[in-house]
A and B are shown apart, each in its own frame.
Chain A
Amino acid sequence: MLLSVTGSTAEIELQKMLTSAHIEKWLQEDVFQFKWWLLLGLFILTIALWWKLLNKTRIPEVLLYTVLTTIVMMGIDECGEELILWVYPIYLFPLFPVITAINLLFVPLALSLTYQYFPTWKSFNSAAIIIAGLLSFIFEPVLAWADFYRLLNWSYGYSFLLYIAVALIIRGAVVLIYSIAENAQRHSS
């Protein structure tokens, strides 16, 4: 019992220190600096481009894909940061940094557009492999080079496999959800 209390208190104290380290660093070195504006611009531009390319008549379906991918990637990204597999040296926002991590933005948006443009499994599989390759072997090295992203115990190859797996599993889930709905509608009508 005593051990539990001590352990828990130590955790809370450490969490306090970590959060204040994040916020302090952010205030002193990140916010309103050139790289911060660059990141913000990249964010807005990416979201605007995604919205432009989004097929509005299919928005519920594509958004469902985006939302599910975001949940999975958010989990993976936060776990990776907690396990020190990678780190984001600059934050748009210092609390729960992962939500404004550039990777978390690009991966769901890129994969959801892939989902929109490639309606069959066969075309989607090839497209997903290409997009995952672009993300992990071109985009991520560029981010690492510009020091927006640092790999600690991670390699681009892992990212590549991970993105392909996520893309396929989420597509499977969305297809399943829509087929269940179609079946149910057919039964009721």
Chain B
Amino acid sequence: MFFITEVSTAVELQKLLTYLRINEWLQEDLFHFRWFFLIGVFAFSALVWCKLVDKSRLPEITLHAGLTAIITLILDEMGEELTLWEYPADIIAIFPPLSAVDLASLPMIYSLIYQYCKTWKTFLWATLLMATVFCFILEPLLVWSDFYQPLKWKYYYGFPIYITMAIFIRWMVLRIYAIARKGKEKKEI
């Protein structure tokens, strides 16, 4: 009995929260300047990526971008649920938290760095630069323009996370392709 009550408390709270979000989104976000701006960021990121991506390595780069998107979505949603930060504007009212950045900008930038930097050394330098730009230029800009509101968060907290993520995902994709190569060699023998 208690069990059922507990679930329904969460369900009721969720109902209220979703209602509030959709309401606010309809009144203040949808078709407003900020909303078009986010759509623009999304489209621009996607376009630039399509232009720059090495078509002959498309499966590999897309896999990298996809893994980045999954991890970003999870971290971002967790941060929002823990009220570490908040996104006052969004393309769509419900999940994902900041679609334009989570699903487009971040995965596209990460995967392009992966594509251009073929050795660990260049990759690490590029990642360091990217993390610095994200933490100390981009995030303050997002806060200033009221797309992002850190609650219990500091810009530099993100710094190690951006770097760890980049290293982990590169390692993973390389590993995946190494396993495939090994499998093929075994078959040929």
Contacts and interface: CB of A to CB of B under 8 A. Distances in A.
Asked if A and B are interacting partners, one says yes
Interface of A: 3-4, 7-8, 10-12, 14-19, 21-22, 25, 28-29, 55-61, 63-64, 67-68, 70-71, 74-75, 78-79, 81-84, 87, 89, 95-96, 99, 150, 152, 177-178, 180-181, 183-185, 188
Interface stretch (B56-64, B127-135, B155-163): B56-64
Contact of A11 (B21, B95, B180): B21
25 contacts: A7-B20, A8-B24, A8-B86, A11-B17, A11-B20, A14-B16, A16-B83, A18-B17, A25-B7, A25-B10, A56-B182, A57-B183, A60-B176, A60-B177, A67-B63, A71-B103, A78-B96, A82-B17, A82-B95, A84-B14, A89-B3, A95-B81, A150-B7, A183-B55, A185-B56
Interface residues of B, number: 55
B15 A84 contact: yes
B83 A12 contact: yes
Interface of B: 2-3, 6-7, 9-11, 13-18, 20-21, 23-24, 28, 54-60, 62-63, 66-67, 69-70, 73-74, 77-78, 80-83, 86, 88, 94-96, 103, 149, 151, 176-177, 179-180, 182-184, 187
Contacts of B3: 29, 89
B55 to A, nearest CB: 3
A178 B183 contact: no
Contacts of A25: 6-7, 9-10
Nearest to B3: A29
A76 to B, nearest CB: 9
B177 to A, nearest CB: 6
B25 to A, nearest CB: 10
